[in-house]
Amino acid sequence: MEAGKHNANQLVTEEEERAIAEKLPAIFREFSQERTNLLPILQRIQETFKFLSPGAMRAVANYIGISTSEVYGVATFYNQFRFHPPGRHEIKVCMGTACHVKGGDIILENFERKLGIKEGETTPDREYSIERVACVGCCALAPVAVVDDKVIGYMQPSKVEGLFLQFEIQRKIREGQIKAEAS
């Protein structure tokens, strides 16, 4: 996750920001304009859109009457908030105690290097996003990754490769179908 000047700007299109902005007033109506509502509002936005866009954070700041940088500072403090839209394939790597001991960080690094993004980020083509999670509750299978809600136990670097091979084939079929329909 890139802090500072937000690089989600490059990922979130103006159309998406507009779509989010349209739905924000309905969310704001549930909360009074007090700064104690900052976290609940941010949580509600993430619940609805799966992430906090720069535009949404600006709107929240405006609504509560605090500075945007303060909203950003609070949001980045908590691990629960993400600043990038989820990818088509959501990859969650477990960093719980057992997975950590079994080398979960190596698995995470594998995913990060393969995709050229850091945890919390989404690839520019919006295909993949990586997240680190605390514990998914099946420590006996450590190290664990959850890919598109499917739990994969005993993760290994070779399994990471295999996973992407599978996804790329799926993608080619999908894009082939789109072409077939168009012609």
Partner 1 sequence: MVKITVDDRELEVEEHLTVLEACIQNGIFIPNLCFLKTRHHPHASCRLCFVSIEGYDRPVTSCTERVRDGMVVKTNTPEVRALQKSAFKLLMSLHPCHPKICPTEKPCLLMRIAKHIGVGLNPKPLEHIDRGLPDLVDFGPLYYVPNRCVLCAKCIHTCRTINQMPLLTFAKRGIMTMVAYFDGEQNTSICANCNACVDVCPVAALLPKSAFTSSVESRKA
Provide the binding-site residues for partner 1, judged by CB under 8 A.
Answer: 1-6, 54, 57-58, 61-62, 66-73, 76-77, 118
- Residue with Cβ nearer partner 1 (113 or 172): 113
Compute the least distance from the CB of residue 2 to partner 1, in Å.
8
Burial of residue 46 (CB within 10 Å: 0-12, 13-18, 19+) is middle
Query: Which among 122, 108, 89 has a CA at the least distance from the CA of 8?
Result: 122
Q: What is the phi-psi region of residue 83: left when phi exceeds 0, alpha when psi lies from -120 to 50, beta otherwise?
A: alpha
Give me 66's structure tokens.
Answer: 């605090």
- Residue with Cβ nearer partner 1 (6 or 102): 6
Compute the least distance from the CB of residue 121 to partner 1, in Å.
13
- Residue with Cβ nearer partner 1 (49 or 72): 72
- Residue with Cβ nearer partner 1 (3 or 101): 3
Distance CA 38, CA 74 (A): 9
Give me 23's structure tokens.
Answer: 């739905």
